[in-house]
Amino acid sequence: MSGIGIITATTVVGVVGIFVGLFLGVAGIKFKVKVDEKEEAVLAALPGNNCGGCGFAGCSGLAAAIAKGEAPVNACPVGGDAVGKQIAEIMGVEAENTVRQVAFVACQGDCEKAKQDYDYYGIEDCRMMSFVPGGGPKSCNSGCLGFGTCTKVCPFDAIHVVNGVAVVDKEKCKACGKCIAVCPKKLISLIPYDAKLAVACSSRDKGPVTMKACQTGCIGCGICVKNCPSQAVSVTEFNATIDQEKCTGCGTCAEKCPKKAIVKI
C-alpha cells in the first residue's frame, strides 16, 4: 500500500471515530435517564435483602415508592426502626415509631402430643398435603404438618421444624412474611416482639374433636376469658385469642388453661 493510501485510510478511520464519538455523546445527553437522588439514597439505606416483606418486589421497588411518597419511610420490616429513621432523615420527614414484630406458629402438636392417622412417605412439602387423604397424616386438620416448607423460604434461617412442628427463632426473625404466605394451614402470623403470651393452637373444632386429635389443643372452654384480669382474651369458634394491646403478661390465662394451649413466649 502506498503512503497516500495509508494516510487516506487513517484519516477516514479518524473522522469516523470522531463522528461516532460525537453521536454517542449527543445521544447520551439526549436520552439520559434522570436519577432521583432521594431514591438512590433510600435504596442505599435499605438492607438489600429483597425479601418482599414490604409488599414490593424488592428493595428498589420500595425505594422508588418511598421517594414518590407512595410508601411510608418505615415500610421495611427487616431494617426496622433504625432504617426507618435514616430514611425519614433522607426524605425530610418525621420518623414514626414502629413496633417490632416476629412470626409465631400457632401449634404445639408435635410428634408426642398430636395423633397421626397414618404414616406419610411422599414429597415433603406442606403445600402438597392438599392432594393426600385427610389433608395430611396428622389427625388435627389445623395443625402444623412439619414438612418444613416455611423453613425453605425463610431468607434469615429463623424458622425450623422441631419434633414435627415449626418453631420461630424470634431473635433471627425479620417479619418478612414469607413463611406466612407459604403455610397452607395459615398457622403463622405476626405478633409483637415484646408479646409475653400467645395461643399456640389454630383449631376451630369443638372441644371433643380437638381433644381426640391433640393433647394440647384449645377446646374453647373460656376459662382463660373468665380469669383474665385485663379482659385481653376472647373465644371465637372454639379458639382463644389474645388482644396483645390489652395483655399485661400476667400469665393467669396460661396458668388456668386446662390444655396448656396458651404459652409464654
Say how far apart CA 109 and CA 121 lie, in whole Å. 19
Mean pLDDT of 9-35: 62
> What pLDDT, on a 0 to 100 scale, did the predictor assign at position 215?
96
74 with 96: CB under 8 angstroms?
Answer: yes
- The band of 27, judged by pLDDT with boundaries at 50, 70 and 90, is low
User: For the segment 139-196, what is each residue's pLDDT rounded down to a tens digit?
Assistant: 999 999 999 999 999 999 999 999 999 999 999 999 999 999 999 999 999 999 999 9
Percent of the chain topping pLDDT 90? 59
Q: What is the model's pLDDT at position 99? A: 85
Other CB atoms within 10 Å distance of the CB of residue 71: 20
Whether the pLDDT of residue 238 is over 80: the answer is yes
Confidence (pLDDT) at 26: 62
Range name among 28-42, 58-72, 178-192 with the lowest pLDDT average: 28-42
Label each residue of the chain as H, E or C.
CCHHHHHHHHHHHHHHHHHHHHHHHHHHHHCCCCCCHHHHHHHHHCCCCCCCCCCCCCHHHHHHHHHCCCCCCCCCCCCHHHHHHHHHHHHCCCCCCCCCEEEEECCCCCCCCECECCCCCCCCCHHHHHHCHHHCCECCCCCCCCCCHHHHHCCCCCEEEECCEEEECCCCCCCCCHHHHHCCCCCEEEEECCCCEEECCCCCCCHHHHHHHECCCCCCCCHHHHHCCCCCEEEECCEEEECCCCCCCCCHHHHHCCCCCEEEC
Phi, psi of 188 (to 5 degrees): -105, 135
Residue 166, pLDDT score:
97
Per-residue pLDDT at 199: 98
Higher pLDDT, 73 or 130: 73
In the chain, where the domains are located: 37-91, 99-194, 195-265
In terms of Cα–Cα distance, which of 139, 136, 135, 170 is closest to 156? 170
Name 116's bridge partners: 138
Which CATH number is associated with domain 99-194?
Answer: 3.30.70.20
Strand partners for 189 = 104
For the structural domain made of 37-91, what CATH number should be given?
Answer: 1.10.15.40
Task: Give me the amino acid identity at 28.
Answer: G
pLDDT at residue 29 greater than cutoff 80:
no
Q: What is the grid cell recorded at 200?
A: 399456640
Angstrom distance (rounded) from CA 263 to CA 253? 9
Residues near 148 by beta carbon (within 8 Å), at least 6 away in sequence: 124, 126, 160, 161, 166
Q: Would you say residue 134 has pLDDT above 70?
A: yes
Q: What average pLDDT does this structure show over 9-23? A: 65
Domains 37-91 and 99-194 share a fold: no
The proportion of the chain whose per-residue pLDDT surpasses 70, expressed as a percent, equals 88
Which CATH code is given to the segment(s) 195-265? 3.30.70.20
Q: Distance between CA 89 and CA 99 in Å, rounded?
A: 19
Predicted TM-score of the model (pTM):
0.78
From 54-68, 153-167, 212-226, the region with the lowest mean pLDDT: 54-68
